[in-house]
Structure 1
Amino acid sequence: MRTTRTFVITGGTDGIGAAVARALFSRGDHVVVIGTDPEKGDRLAQEAAAAPGGLDFVRADLSLVSSTRRVIGEVVEAHPAIDGLVLCARYFRTHRRVTAEGFEDNFALFYLSRVLFSYGLLKALEKAERPVIVNVAGPGHDTPIDWDDLQSAGRYDGVNAMFMTGRLNDLLGVDFARRRGEGPVKYVLFHPGTTSTSFAGEFDAPTAAFIEHQKSVAKPATEVVPPLLRLLDSPPAPPLTAFSVTHGQLPLSEALFSPALAARLADITAHLLESESVRHPGR
């Protein structure tokens, strides 16, 4: 008899996250989906009710550190053992927005929430037989990191901000593997390629037109599911790996996956997460 496994997916009500959730509960696994839209969450839960597996929807704004920490606590309390974590949540903005905690929205959602989930679910992941974290972030991009302006305050460009934050996720994986290299949890950076997702975001007119074109030529999200399931079912042996749907396994070059830069980013991140605005929101 097949053992039911438990997976957590952030950004799981749309696109790749939702497609993976459907595949998991359809084969008998249990999925915890985290997202912002209760209607989409309810529809997924209704689909899962007729499937061999199950689904819990958790509504949360992961651009807020306080909300992310609360959700992590709830998930761990409900699911003391977790087999896999799939990080998909992100939201494109043409114009810069700052959260109530003082972080640029993209930086908070696309990077900080993934840091918090990676480490916040660690103990629960370590109780599984083959635990893995899959960070869907587009590894291997060579966008320069502006170390003096990680949150794009000086000159904001939505595309550059998202690509640069993707680089930060690469370094998150590098530092996670350095810290947890002897542990059982494997970290995988995953590039889905151009995929027809919900393209969630707030776009100006030229960007919206480009997005519509991308939707017309991109592959469906369901095509990304098989390689993701393979990674969840049989995680690679090394502590850190990077994969692209188009190019297969990617080399972890020193230039793009630098341990020194990863440690530098980890120190900056730790300081930001201990800031007064995060520990006491609203002050």
Structure 2
Amino acid sequence: MSRYSLKRTVGRASRPTWIAVLLMTAALAACAPAPVATSQAPSQTASPVANQTTTQKSVAQPSTQAPPATVQSADGPLPVPSNLVALAQPAGQKRLIGAAANQSYWPLSQYFETQRNEAYCSVATSVMALNALGIRRPASTLYPDFPYFSQEDFFRGVDPQVANAARVSHEGMTLDQLGEALNAFPVVVQPYHAADLTLAQFRDLIRETTRRGDRFALLNFRRVEIGETGGGHWSPLAAYDAASDSALLLDVARYKYPAVWVPVAQLYAAALAVDNVSGLSRGVVVIGKRQG
């Protein structure tokens, strides 16, 4: 929803209703959870995103979705869907060891983060990757004697007009917003909207990135397309297994789901899902070390 459309909607609604509209709009961003409305006032549907300044075409949503989550046990409180394989299971461990493209896993796992609030998935994902790259780290408020990228300090050098802690704590970040925020750090940033990639190109991007330990793929996706509960989310991809055509998703919401192997076709469908804030498809942000 554009800010103009939201403002018009708010102006027409009663106070209880416009509060619910504001909360729901924020929840449709990167990974903020959708709240339950408690108002008894008649519901109103927010107007669709309009007047986008991009030429990207609208993306038709896949007609089929992953099976419902019911089968495997999980490290977290929610069951892992039957179409996914948890990394902690023997089959998941075997897949990681046998994968040719698994070099992203080792540095990322060393700096694994849990998002500090339910809308900070983009921040936790970014901090993991920044520390794993081995680039020069900034002074840390958490660890005064040890430079370190942290979620608490992430926005210190980011233009507040692009993103700031208060806003992201409620809304999360879109694909382009995170890409722009990461430009404040000494890294090379390449955002890819899934709508601009074929399935084959998406697969190649994941495989070639996870082959390396100096570049990382940060995935923006919608959970329902892979059979999980929830909306939009961010997490890094750490490996690709050709035999099963699946990628390893290191979920930063570790209180909810463990790291899992996801079929690439379902990851692609999840990345194609339109972000209701930007009106564009989700996708992948690749970050790497600057050369020279």
TM-score, normalised with respect to structure 2: 0.23
Which protein shows a greater Rg?
A: 2
